[in-house]
Amino acid sequence: MAGELYVCATPIGNLEDITFRALRILREADLIAAEDTKRTRALLTHYNIAVPLLSYNEHNRKQRLPTIMAKLKEGGKVVLVSDAGTPGISDPGPLLVAEARKEGFPVIPLPGPSALSAALSICGFDMPQFTFTGFLPRREGEREKLLLELRESGRGVVCYEAPHRIEAALASLAKVWPDAKVVLMRELTKIYEEVLVGSPGQLAAELERNPRRGEMVLVIAGAKDGGQEATPSQDQIRAKVLSLMEAMDKKRAIKEAAAELGVPKRLVYQVVVDLPGRGETD
């Protein structure tokens, strides 16, 4: 029999969230390549499945590739799982999938849970199009630049966030997209599942009052999704400041532009930060 690679979604919390087909294929597998063997072992034990596990993660994936490919060449059935949810969505997967396909092995998805689809399904926004950022950039400047671009795109946004970076993410959102409608979903499908809705400022204040940990997804409605009023683009903001600067200094022009366009002063400042003020040399 020819080898086959299955890419299998596993629960993001509640162990019951797994398909009959996934359980059958896991049971029939010759090898399970798992991002987190401890977590996968707990799942397999829960369902009385005894199949050899091989650790396959971001750090060892290149070294593990030959072992997995050898198993496929022997005609084995290999299942790839990540620590939770769907492999390939902010998780290892693409390298093995590409390699297996290159060698002519069938690559078969076993669809199921993902924090992305779970969050979208209950965010309550009608988002025919959206941008999935995965994890937001760690650096404040890069994060704010990206969020500004996303806001201007008019599309809704879904972000994964690490628990220790959620405050920073909300602070960045509050700066560049203060009127955003945000749904923060935490510990989906688990005992302490929680959904918080509000502006970035409201959510940041709530987290300051009562800090939360755990796994989190943010969904932000886009302008076209009824999320907020249309906001001026960076080009419009820049043009406004430039025209005001013909009659006043940069500092006043920023203040004036913010008032006229109805956007936060800080946002205007960010868009024109590279413009020299009158009398400045750079």
Site residues for ligand SAM per CB under 6 A: 12-13, 82, 84-86, 89-91, 114-116, 160-162, 185, 187-190, 215-217
- Minimum gap (Å) between residue 15 Cβ and ligand SAM: 12
Q: Which is nearer to ligand SAM, 44 or 119 (CB)?
A: 119
In order of 8, 48, 81, 107, the CA distances from 40 in angstroms are: 12, 12, 8, 20
Q: Which is nearer to ligand SAM, 69 or 219 (CB)?
A: 219
Q: Which is nearer to ligand SAM, 86 or 270 (CB)?
A: 86
- Minimum gap (Å) between residue 235 Cβ and ligand SAM: 32
Q: What distance, in Å, lies between the first and last C-alpha atoms of the chain?
A: 69
Which residue number places its CB atom closest to ligand SAM? 85
- Minimum gap (Å) between residue 27 Cβ and ligand SAM: 22
| Rounded Cα–Cα distance for residues 200 and 172 (Å) | 9
Tell me what percent of the chain is helix, strand and coil, each rounded to the nearest 5. 45, 20, 40
Q: Which is nearer to ligand SAM, 156 or 232 (CB)?
A: 156
- Minimum gap (Å) between residue 84 Cβ and ligand SAM: 5
Phi/psi of residue 195, each to 5°?
Answer: -125, 125
Q: Which of 252, 254, 181, 189 is closest to 219 using CA atoms?
A: 181
- The two structure tokens encoding residue 149: 């671009």
